[in-house]
Amino acid sequence: FYQSLDPKFVVKRLTASLYPPKSVRFSIVENRIVAEGEAPDTWIDRARAAARQLSVGGPEFDISKVRDVSPEAREAEHWQYYVARLEAQSGIIVAQQRTSGGQFYISGLRDPLAADPQALLSGTQVDPARVHSQWQFYQSLDPKFVVKRLTASLSPPKSVQ
């Protein structure tokens, strides 16, 4: 039997066979069918398989704009947000970070005057009980830390700023 390769008809067949979640939208861009939105990894895997099976000469099925919302993907995003937050802090150098068996591991260097890595977990949705961190002492050359250390060691009179 004949199946049209017109993108409008291909979209209808993809919709009927994939049952996309309400959060996924299909659009036709030039000769491509573009899926956008959020879906669990199981749906994304089915969509990838469908994309590989489309007829040659028909529209390409692009699912690169569909965001994985599986719990594991969300967890990984939260962890990466926390790591980026640490890396942006003065006086903290992240040397290594990884996840394994549902646990998070991070190590590096931390100036005692830097922000507390444990406190930075707040608002990240990362479970602090699953974070294993190891920080080695170092003295940052960040000017604000150098000034604090000099001020503390020299105890200058209030007239000196």
Task: Kindly state the tokens that stand for 4.
Answer: 């049209």
DSSP-assigned states of every residue in 85-125: HHHTSTTEEEEEEEEETTEEEEEEEE-TTSPPTTGGGTTTT
| Interval 33-44: pLDDT, tens | 999 999 988 899
pLDDT above 70: percentage of residues in the chain: 99
First to last CA, the chain: 86
pLDDT given at position 44:
93
pLDDT given at position 119:
94
Residue listed under structure tokens 């993108």: 7
Mean pLDDT, rounded, for 48-53: 91
Residue 1 has pLDDT above 80, yes or no: no
| Interval 124-160: pLDDT, tens | 999 999 999 999 999 999 999 999 998 888 887 888 7
pLDDT given at position 66:
94
| Interval 71-82: pLDDT, tens | 888 899 899 999
